[in-house]
Structure 1
Amino acid sequence: MSLEHATPTPAPTVTDPADTGTAGKRPSGPVAFLRGRTGHSLLAVNAVRLLIVIVWLGSWELAARTIMDPFYYSMPSDIWDKLVTWFTDGTSQGSIWSNIAVTLEEAVYGFVLGTVLGIVLGVLLGRARFLAEVLAPFIKGANAIPRIVLASLFVIWFGLGMSSKVATALVLVFFAVFFNAFQGAREVDKTLIDNARILGAGRWALLRTIVLPSATSWILASMHVAFGFALIGAVVGEFTGADRGMGLLIAHAQGNFDAAGVYAGMLVITVVALAAEWLITRLERRLTSWRPQTTAAAAGA
């Protein structure tokens, strides 16, 4: 049994024939991002996005006032009122900012610890084929465990404090990063490894100068998903038992049949996740700035 097929290998990038020899005609890099893959301006794209949001929220508001029961489905105006109340008057669990800070702190700790462990073990096992074969069934078995359920066990082990939430977030993040780091370490060009060994590179030098840079794209790709998992772990842990946090606010709203409060909590968490995604994207660009930019890659950035 092998870990090599634990996660699917990304499909190779297909270059558009129209891109061939047109590096001077099609925008690349930041220009390509601003104009989009099809050449449309960012203003037009954002205008359509805004229109979609307006139509969606407007139809929801109209339906809640005419055919749907707002007690169960709430409505955008009620959700907005709930958000205004939270950010101006606070919540029953204190300031909304303190609750956001608690959830974010738990998620960040779990994300960092899970990412570090996932990278270290993934790269090491990716280069140690015999050890990977030995541990493959145990790792796959652990990955098959419904990890959300572990939140209850972590509360028993670590109590209602931050440790249980960090542990839940860590477990969710670890496997997302581990399998990508493992596969990235396996995908290193064997010719590069052989040439470096001929030149006298040791195991640590190979790992530092060839394996890790080659696996960077795989690792960074997993981090986009991993932080979302970290937030999920923190919120689920707060649902299980906590005295502060966004998960507790949502749990109280659910207990009071306050649909607007549930939606408001979801919206706040979504904004935090999007902000983290933006930061990770900036980090990814800085860490991969050393790679040469081809026309096709730049057009799809």
Structure 2
Amino acid sequence: MMLSKANLQIKGWQLFILGFVLITWHLASRSLNVAFFIGEPLIVLDRLIDWLFVNRDIYLHLAITLLETGLAFLIGTIGGTACGLFLGLSPKTSIVFDPFLKAFNSMPRVILAPIFAVWFGLGIWSKVALAVTLVFFVVFFNVYQGVKEVSPAILSNARMLGANRSQLLRTVYLPSATSWVFSSLHTSVGLAFVGAVVGEYLGSARGVGYLILQAEGTFDINTVFAGIVLLTFCALALDALVGFVETKLMVWRPKHDDSQRL
């Protein structure tokens, strides 16, 4: 599929900004005093090449982090969707649980990491548990709001046509919630990585977060940036996968050309 002229211009500007940032970073890092704080892009690139193609010792750590992220993303999404639908369709129950959900959501979940480490040990499940708490509430509140935003007129028309509760759930509530779910998943991807890496950072023997922590302890800023760049590319890849699935499942939704807004 060929890109339109407007889309090509957008891609060109994106590449220009990326190139400008990298060149500025490279020029600023020529000063050793500055490089100590921001690293050097060529050394960061060399570290990534060494990890991925030379020694190839990153794959075990990356696999652990991706496994933790994937499990947290899956469990948090399923749990948040189910709870959002249940409470969205049960007004009285949602009123009862509302203060507890708001209290837990307002809690800085990072402080739960030591508790999860005690409960689940220093293996992957303490990191998964922490990441789930981050993903769950983003998905939950979006699904809950999606159910609440269903048009009363649509519900009335469906009931007039004889739709029962299960048919309303399948044909009205789920399609409405699905749009909100996918909008939350793009945010949840990053949060799943945050939970997994922070968990590794606070207590682990494997994972990209563990490597970043070790590099920080020796003031190896280039390795820290290499880990950040690697995780960023993984998060972008997972976000692109979510976007691909979204386009396949949401075929009924009208497409918007963002380039027309410029």
TM-score, with structure 2 as normaliser: 0.93
**Pairing of 1:93-242 with structure 2 (within 5 A):** 95-242=57-204
Aligned residues: 259
Question: Aligned pair 1:48/2:13, yes or no?
Answer: yes
The answer for the alignment partner of 1:26 in structure 2 is: none
**Gaps spanning 5+ residues in structure 1: where?**
1-29
Q: Which amino acid aligns with 1:298?
A: H
- Counterpart Cα distance in 2 of 1:47 and 1:201: 51
The answer for the alignment partner of 1:247 in structure 2 is: 209
Instruction: Give secondary structure in 2 for the equivalent of 1:257.
Output: coil
Q: Which amino acid aligns with 1:40?
A: A
- Counterpart Cα distance in 2 of 1:251 and 1:66: 25
The answer for the alignment partner of 1:283 in structure 2 is: 245
Give the helix-richer structure, 1 or 2. 2
TM-score, with structure 1 as normaliser: 0.81
Give 1:200 deviation, angstroms: 3.1
- Counterpart Cα distance in 2 of 1:60 and 1:128: 53
- Counterpart Cα distance in 1 of 2:153 and 2:7: 43
The answer for the alignment partner of 2:45 in structure 1 is: 80
Residues 102 and 244 in structure 1, CA contact (< 8 A), matched pair in contact too: yes
The answer for the alignment partner of 2:258 in structure 1 is: 300
- Counterpart Cα distance in 2 of 1:46 and 1:199: 48
Question: Aligned pair 1:58/2:27, yes or no?
Answer: no
**What is the percentage of aligned positions where both structures have the same residue?**
42
Q: Which amino acid aligns with 1:283?
A: V
1:58-111 CA distance string (max 9 Å, x none): 2222222137432222111111121122223437xxx21121111011101000
Give 1:197 deviation, angstroms: 2.5
Q: Which amino acid aligns with 2:51?
A: W
- When structure 1 is superposed on structure 2, of 163-172 and 79-88 the one drifting more is 79-88
Instruction: Give secondary structure in 2 for the equivalent of 1:137.
Output: helix
1:132-151 CA distance string (max 9 Å, x none): 11111110000011011211
- Counterpart Cα distance in 2 of 1:116 and 1:188: 21
Question: Aligned pair 1:260/2:225, yes or no?
Answer: no
Give 1:175 deviation, angstroms: 0.4
Q: Which amino acid aligns with 1:104?
A: L
Instruction: Give secondary structure in 1 for the equivalent of 2:251.
Output: coil
1:26-58 CA distance string (max 9 Å, x none): xxxx77xx33xxx6242x332332222222222
- When structure 1 is superposed on structure 2, of 149-158 and 78-87 the one drifting more is 78-87
Q: Which runs of 4+ in 1 moved over 4 A?
A: none
Instruction: Give secondary structure in 1 for the equivalent of 2:26.
Output: helix
Residues 155 and 240 in structure 1, CA contact (< 8 A), matched pair in contact too: no
The answer for the alignment partner of 1:20 in structure 2 is: none
Distance 1:215 1:98, change over 3 A: same
**Gaps spanning 5+ residues in structure 2: where?**
none
Instruction: Give secondary structure in 2 for the equivalent of 1:40.
Output: helix
Q: Which amino acid aligns with 1:179?
A: F
Give 1:244 deviation, angstroms: 1.1
